[in-house]
């Protein structure tokens, strides 16, 4: 599998993870800051949460890691949580904004 194919599968896996309080997936919400694919299909994800006090802080990063780890061919997954830059609604995709009534 090529790097671009794996990246697409990673994005699709992340689109299956939802913040339980918001009916939009974490990718469209803009919570994923970076996805890197390293040799031998090791995946690195840099992400944030809507707030440092997010009640789902203990579950969302782990669920994201689990979903990506389930992709056939992925050797390892590392999820790093950051709050720099702080999350804002401007990071949402147009799909998310439309779904949440911001457009």
SS3 74: coil
Query: Is residue 46 in a domain?
Result: yes
* Token reading at 60: 């969302």
Q: Is 61 inside a domain boundary?
A: yes
Distance between CA atoms of 9 and 11, rounded to whole angstroms? 5
Is the whole model's pTM more than 0.85, yes or no?
yes
Q: Is 37 part of any domain?
A: yes
Residue 59 lies in a domain: yes
* Number of domains the chain is built from: 1
Domain at 57, CATH number: 3.30.300.130
Look at the block and give the residue holding tokens 């992400």. 47
Question: pLDDT digit string (tens) for 12-30?
Answer: 999 999 988 888 999 999 9
**Who contacts 96 (Cβ-Cβ below 8 Å, separation ≥6)?**
24, 28, 29, 30, 102
Q: State pLDDT tens for residues 19-75.
A: 888 889 999 999 999 999 999 999 999 999 988 887 877 899 999 999 999 999 999
- Structural domain that includes position 41: 3-96
Q: Residue 82 falls within a domain, yes or no?
A: yes
Does 103 fall in a domain? no
Query: Quick check: is 101 in a domain?
Result: no
Instruction: Give the span between the Cα atoms of 87 and 2, in whole angstroms.
Output: 31
102, part of any domain: no
């Amino acid at each position: 599998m090529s790097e671009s194919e794996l990246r697409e599968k990673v994005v699709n896996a992340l689109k299956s993870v939802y913040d339980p309080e918001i009916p939009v997936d974490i990718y469209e919400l803009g919570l994923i800051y970076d996805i890197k694919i390293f040799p031998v299909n090791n995946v690195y994800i840099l992400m944030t949460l809507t707030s440092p006090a997010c009640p789902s802080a203990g579950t969302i990063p782990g669920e994201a890691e689990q979903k990506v780890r389930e992709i056939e061919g992925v050797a390892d997954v590392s999820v790093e949580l950051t709050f720099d830059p702080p999350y804002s609604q401007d990071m949402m995709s147009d799909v998310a904004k439309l779904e949440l009534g911001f457009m």
